[in-house]
């Protein structure tokens, strides 16, 4: 492998080779190299997984490693709402050495989707799950909540179900309300609704949301879980997974301040 083809994580100290560092993010590797000069990351313990990258890399790491570790994210991306911001490496190292973080458990959603070919796929999501049109045709969706038909035919681009933690991502872009991450709720947000003008809804975490695609041969749709395409589907069922992931945030992190500064740009 030539030097130009070498992964960005090459040359990292052996003690942090097992950590999650985005190989496609040069800044992530740079941050970890600098941090390793101040603190031995291997001393954080086997239950702490330090993730250096962006929100997308954090989500992919959680998919790969599951709910066992506690994830301590270091933001090397843009928004980094799921991670800790990086300031001075020495200050960050001091907080890590003192284990000056708070661990918060966040719920995950489970989607069970029936594909067009009749097979079933399941997936978990920290942020959101959605069904959206996959061609130029609008999607026609029937929406049920706790077994009741809320909309018999929603003409739209799609429908999204998000956790409070994920409310500041696609849901917010689609017109949903940004929600404080510590609020226990499930947000249902129509994507570009045409008829009827269904508004976003905040529901209890035990809500069951079912979406069925109508006229699928003319109006095909797909399902997506935390950015992963699950393929063409006919219907999906979204519910509380009964499973939580743990994120560690350093003492310098404040959810409310982060929401206003990063998301609302105030």
117 with 154, same domain: the answer is yes
Q: Which domain holds residue 60?
A: 3-99
Mean pLDDT of 144-161: 98
Burial class (CB in 10 A: 0-12, 13-18, 19+), 217: exposed
Phi-psi region of 111 (alpha: psi -120 to 50; beta: other; left: phi over 0): beta
The structure's pTM equals 0.88
Average pLDDT of the chain is 89
Whether residues 158 and 232 fall in one domain:
yes
Residue 129 lies in a domain: yes
Both 139 and 230 in a single domain? Answer: yes
Whether 132 and 82 map to the same domain: the answer is: no
94 and 115 share one domain:
no
Decide: 109 and 186 in contact? Cβ < 8 Å. Answer: yes
> Mean pLDDT across the stretch 166-195?
94
Please indicate whether residue 47 is annotated as part of the active site.
Answer: no
44-96 residue pLDDT tens:
878 899 999 999 999 999 999 999 899 999 999 888 889 998 877 788 888 88
221 and 115 fall within a common domain: yes
pLDDT above 70 covers a percentage of the chain that reads 92
Residue 15 has pLDDT above 80, yes or no: no
Q: How confident is the model at residue 5 (pLDDT cuts 50, 70, 90)?
A: very low
CATH number assigned to the domain comprising residue 188: 2.60.200.30
Convert the pLDDT of each residue in 124-134 to its tens digit. 999 999 999 99
Q: What is the pLDDT of residue 260?
A: 83
Is the CB of residue 216 less than 8 Å from the CB of residue 234?
yes
User: How far apart are the two ends of the chain, measured CA to CA in Å?
Assistant: 46
Ranges 6-15, 165-174, 253-262: which has the least confidence: 6-15
Catalytic hit among 22, 40, 47, 55: 55
Cβ atoms of 84 and 247 closer than 8 Å: no
What pLDDT is stored for residue 79 in this prediction?
A: 81
Q: Are residues 219 and 130 in the same domain?
A: yes
CA distance to 38, 59, 222, per residue, from 55 (Å): 25, 6, 23
Q: What is the pLDDT of residues 201-254, one digit of tens each?
A: 999 999 999 999 999 999 999 999 999 999 999 999 999 999 999 999 998 888
pLDDT at 12 over 70: no
Band of residue 10 on the pLDDT scale cut at 50, 70, 90: low
Q: What is the spatial distance between Cα 20 and Cα 253, in angstroms, rounded to a whole number?
A: 21
> Would you say residue 3 has pLDDT above 80?
no
Domain boundary (49, 69, 99) is at 99
Q: How far is CA 16 from CA 29, 43, 69, 93, 134, in A?
A: 11, 10, 16, 14, 41
pLDDT number for residue 2: 35
* Same domain, yes or no: 153 and 216: yes
Query: In angstroms, rounded to a whole number, what is the distance separating the alpha carbons of residues 195 and 154?
Result: 6
**Eight-state DSSP code of residue 227:** T
Same-domain check for residues 28 and 137: no
DSSP 94-112: HHHHTT-EEEEEEEEEEEE
pLDDT for 37? 86
């Amino acid at each position: 492998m030539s030097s130009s083809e070498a992964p960005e994580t090459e040359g990292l100290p052996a003690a942090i080779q097992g950590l999650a560092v985005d190989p496609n993010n040069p800044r992530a590797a740079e941050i970890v190299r600098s941090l390793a000069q101040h603190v031995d990351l291997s001393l954080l313990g086997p239950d702490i997984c330090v993730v250096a990258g962006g929100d997308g890399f954090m989500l992919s790491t959680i998919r790969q490693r599951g709910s066992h570790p506690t994830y301590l994210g270091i933001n090397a991306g843009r928004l980094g709402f799921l991670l800790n911001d990086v300031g001075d490496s020495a200050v960050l190292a001091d907080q890590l050495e003192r284990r000056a973080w708070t661990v918060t458990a966040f719920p995950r959603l489970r989607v069970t989707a029936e594909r067009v070919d009749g097979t079933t796929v399941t997936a978990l999501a920290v942020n959101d799950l959605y069904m959206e049109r996959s061609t130029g045709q609008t999607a026609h969706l029937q929406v049920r909540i706790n077994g009741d038909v809320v909309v018999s035919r929603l003409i739209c681009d799609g429908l999204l179900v998000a956790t409070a933690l994920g409310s500041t991502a696609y849901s917010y872009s689609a017109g949903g309300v940004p929600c404080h991450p510590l609020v226990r709720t499930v947000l249902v947000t129509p994507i570009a609704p045409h008829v009827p003008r269904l508004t976003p809804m905040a529901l209890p975490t035990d809500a069951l949301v079912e979406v069925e695609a109508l006229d699928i041969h003319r109006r095909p749709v797909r399902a997506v879980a935390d950015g992963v395409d699950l393929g063409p589907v006919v219907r999906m069922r979204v519910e509380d997974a009964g499973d939580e992931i743990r994120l560690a945030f350093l003492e310098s992190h404040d959810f409310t301040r982060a929401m206003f500064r990063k998301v609302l740009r105030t």
